[in-house]
Structure 1
Amino acid sequence: MTTSIDHASPALAQLRAEFDGQVIGADHPDYDEARTVISGLVDRRPAMIVRPRDAAQVARVVAVAAESGLELAVRGGGHSAAGHGVSEGGLVLDLRDMRAFDIDVEQRTASAQAGLTAGEYTALAGEHGLATGFGDTASVGIGGITLGGGVGFLSRRFGLTIDDLLAAEVVTADGQILEVDAAHHPDLFWAIRGGGGNFGVVTRFTFRVHEVSDVVGGMLILPVTPEIIVSAIAAADAAPEQLSGMFNVMTAPPMPFVPEEYHGKPVMMALLCYAGGAEEGERAMAPFRELATPLADMIKPMTYPELFPPDPPHRPVAAGRTLFVDGVDLDAAKLIMDRLHASTAAMTVAQFRVLGGAVARVPSDATAFAHRDRRVMAMVAAMFQDPVELPVYEAWVSEFAAELSDGSPGAYVNFVGDEGAARVRDAYPGTTWDRLREVKKRYDPGNLFRLNQNIPPAE
């Protein structure tokens, strides 16, 4: 349903006057492109999209949203599964023009504005043989992935993205621009490391960077059986901490490097990275290559930025569920295979990322990401063609996840879709939820920043 939008409202007219050339309304030729996010299930028409260039301009847009009552969406890379980067009838604060990047090679720090993507940051840092871990996808915005935690190719060696976050520039709901770190506004610094965009707009991040020039990594595709699933996850758990990656048990798409007889049939697609020397990396990859004769083996020595090739244009129509498990036994592996075989979706996947290593060495209460003791992060998803089929596949992924679960609630907030308040609560176990609500009450008592996986202020 399309919301009625008053394009002539005083607030919007004021923004047009103040941000000449930085505003996109429904009459702009770039409007449809600018309002489009990754999820193929989301088709919202904001009243206006504003592209600020610095924190002061962000603060001005935040003030107008607060004064006018317009719903405010904050957009980085646009990868939110729930489409939180765009509002129906409200304001979109699009950070894509905020792209400054500075690196201090000697001090091993980098300062980056929030409009950069993971691929762009990785390429810029890679020019110096340095890296911060950002997931596994080039087009993801550094803001969204950082605020939710950040699980990727360097997690077991160096920790989550938030474990390398040293400081941030944050625009709060009252228009203040705060410099936040462990010594300044420590409660807010704790909350933005895993609590999402609930507490303000982070306009600049300061990260620790690591020396990561060459790695051994890439894609390995194997035929799959329940025994191979169990063995692959066990091998990743036993691997040196320099090795991180993910294992996608999925129906094979018609990729040219996959034998045609496997198209549409279950395979295991492993994306692996060994952040260390070539010789050690090849030894670390051997257990995975020995599981079965590979259908495709693209693992090789490469530079770290090569793991972030440009993403092909796509807008997936999908349903998914995230959870944590402490392992995958043979019964669970058989369940996975049965579920994939039985689905009528165009593509189905069960993804597993083995954690541990540096992730687990950080205390669970040190950041708002509180799943440090979990061994494996899982995701089940179904991709389909027609959005009207969403209820069918929502039920499928929900049932599948429940069958895989060990009964402990848990969710990685960056992978949660439009699943309701209870699922947001699952992302923040124990006392984390109550602590986040208190921080929310202090910095955003009116819940201006609510178009997110929302944490309501404490009462």
Structure 2
Amino acid sequence: MKSKTRLTGRVIFKGDSGYESARKNWDPHTDKYPKVFVFAQRTQDVANAIKWARENNVPIRPRSGRHSLEVNLSQVNSGIVIDVSNMKKIKLNKKQGTVIVQTGNRVGRIAKTLAKQGFIAPFGDSPSVGIGGITLGGGIGPLQRSIGLISDNLLEVEMVNAKGKVIRANKKCNADLLWASRGGGGGNFGVYTKYKFKVHRAPAEATVYRITWPWNQFEKVLKAWQKWAPFVNDKLGSELSIGPKKGGNVTMEGLFLGSKSEAIRLLKPVTCVGTPTNKLIRLLPYTEAVNFLLPPDPVLTQRTSNQFSSGFARKPFPNKAIKSMRKFLENVEGGAGFFFLNWGGAVSRVLPRSTAFYWRKAKFYVEWNSSWINQAEAAKNIAIVRNTRRKLDPFIVGSYINVPDQGIKNSGPVYYGANYPRLRRIKAKYDPGNVFQNPQSITPARK
């Protein structure tokens, strides 16, 4: 390949040693073979990689946490993968209440580092997710009702555009790009290298909880949870997981930024339902509360592939929706199931159009997944997830870009709602040639 620009950073071509381990993703069945991986050590390495890719007409995929839930969104055949996972600086400014993090950081590392310094950094349900992907897609999690989505706390970004030029976006400069970066999804506008967030003082202590019920009580528990969770105190985040009938159970966990006695009182409407087999409600130093909610989650030793889908519910699931859930849960096994997260609070106080993340008015978020080890089971498992989406369609709106489902046709309005046309215009401004694309990326608006 002839090229003016030289690749810098740690460069691994197809055929080099280390290529197979560079190909590994969270999903073990990655079937794409990129031409080259560039593990960027600094912003300039990213710029060089983009310029090199343009000169050689090679498709680009950015990657940070290797945690993409769809098997092939962060790799592409004969392309270049710009992996930013080595860029890990974290710079806290206590006086200003801000933190600048490089894009290679994982959520758990940031949350735990800041907790030790007495600050809250928002997180989701896994410590190994890259801060880049989770932020750009919105960033949901158990703290969102207190402090908003991860992207609601985003103040500034540094990004390398399609020409290999480093640009910044904040309220004063490239404000439209900042707007789009708050929920417009990764891999659409450029390769991001730095994020500046506002941070919040952490309480000295927080109450964590985990309650478990037998699987056959899931309907009772879900009905109680969905009536209660969206309206409870804003300082209480609640995740409800329902495993498969075969070997699964029902677990409600989360945290309350307050006392144990108050948590017990607030949780009562759900804990008094059915016969819980396990009940843990514990006041912990805030640092330990973060560790409790973000237990180790190894990325590259997964054995199972997954198919996910997701949506937002504006009112409680009626019996008809719960019946479709039951059918799904009776037919899947392994690490499959349903996951719910309560909405409201700070998330719903932001208007749907004031950031790219549109789905503000929901009562709860829901996702479901099927998993398999043997590739021969893939088609059957993918089909059951997508079929369940069709059945739940009357009861949900939209879908969460960070839990992508390539079965969704014309996905733009499903992920971004009424914000999609504006995102297309911003795409046309910052990436008119559609250099940054994947099977569900934003298409530039036509002039």
Secondary structure of 2:410's aligned partner: helix
Superposed displacement of residue 344, structure 1 = 4.5
1:317-357 CA deviation, whole Å, 9 max, x = no partner?
A: 1122111212223443343223312x144443122112111
Whether 2:355 is the aligned partner of 1:367: answer yes
Partner amino acid, structure 1, of 2:125: D
Q: Give the deviation of 1:295 after TM superposition.
A: 2.3
Aligned match of 1:215: 206
Q: Distance in 1 between matches of 2:303 and 2:207?
A: 30
Tell me what 1:308 maps to: 294
Matches within 5 A, 1:237-386: 237-251=230-244, 264-302=246-284, 303=286, 304-306=289-291, 307-312=293-298, 313-326=301-314, 327-341=316-330, 343-386=331-374
Match of 1:195 in 2: 184
The answer (yes or no) to whether the contact 1:380–1:401 under 8 Å persists in 2 is no
Structure 2: which amino acid aligns with 1:108?
A: G
Contact kept, 8 Å, 1:59 with 1:176, in 2: the verdict is yes
Partners in 2 of 1:236 and 1:408 — Cα distance? Answer: 17
- Structure 1's 321 and 444: CA in aligned 2 closer, same or farther, altered over 3 A? same
The Cα offsets for residues 183-202 of structure 1, whole Å up to 9 and x where unpaired, read as 11111111111111201111
5+ unaligned residues in a row in structure 2: which ranges?
A: none
1:274, distance to aligned residue in structure 2 (A): 1.1
CA distances 1:145-189 after superposition (whole Å, capped 9, x unpaired) = 000000001011111111100111111112221121111111111
Per the TM alignment, residue 420 of structure 1 is displaced from its structure 2 partner at its CA by 5.2
Q: Assess if the C-alpha contact under 8 Å between 2:220 and 2:274 holds in 1.
A: no
The 1-side partners of 2:421 and 2:176 are apart by 13
Counterpart check, 1:133 vs 2:119: no
Partners of 2:395 and 2:236 in 1: how far apart?
28
Cα distance in structure 2, aligned partners of 1:174 and 1:14: 12
1:101-180 alignment to 2 at 5 Å? Answer: 101-180=90-169
Letter in 2 for 1:241: D
- CA deviations 1:72-119 (Å, max 9, x no partner) are 111110111223222222111110110000101122111100000001
Give me the whole-angstrom Cα distance separating, in 2, the residues matched to 1:434 and 1:238: 32
1:10 corresponds to 2:9: no
Q: Structure 1 409/451 Cα, relative in aligned 2: closer, same or farther at 3 Å?
A: same
* Among 24, 30, 36, the residue aligned to 1:36: 24
- What is the letter of the counterpart of residue 448 of structure 1? V
* Counterpart Cα distance in 1 of 2:75 and 2:303: 15
Instruction: State the one-letter code of the partner of 2:435.
Output: L
2:53 is equivalent to residue 65 of structure 1: yes
Amino acid at match of 1:212: A
2:178 is paired with a residue whose SS is: helix
- Cα distance between partner residues in 2 of 1:168 and 1:339: 41
How many Å separate the matches in 2 of 1:178 and 1:91?
A: 21
What is the Cα deviation at residue 215 of structure 1? 1.8
Moved more, 93-102 or 237-246: 237-246
User: Once the 2 structures are TM-superposed, how far is the Cα of residue 398 of structure 1 from its aligned partner?
Assistant: 1.6
Q: Indicate which of 390, 393, 402 corresponds to 1:414.
A: 402
Q: Which ranges in structure 1 are unaligned for 5 or more consecutive residues?
A: 1-8, 253-263
Count matched residues: 434
Q: Distance in 2 between matches of 1:287 and 1:206?
A: 39
**1:256 match:** none
Per-residue deviation, 1:389: 2.4
1:408 to partner: Cα distance = 5.8
* Whole-angstrom distance in 2 between the partners of 1:287 and 1:420: 36
Tell me the SS of whatever aligns to 1:202: strand
Q: Secondary structure at the match of 1:217?
A: strand
Superposition RMSD in Å = 2.0
2:43 aligned partner, one-letter code = A
Contact 2:317-2:395 at 8 Å conserved across structures: no
Question: Does residue 442 of the first structure (1) align with residue 433 of the second (2)?
Answer: no
Cα separation, 1, equivalents of 2:43 and 2:432: 21
| Percent identity of equivalent pairs | 28
CA contact (8 A) 1:169 1:204 kept: yes
2:195 paired residue number? 205
TM-score, reference length from structure 2: 0.92
TM-score (norm 1): 0.89
Aligned to 2:384: 396
Task: Give the aligned partner of residue 438 of structure 2.
Answer: 451
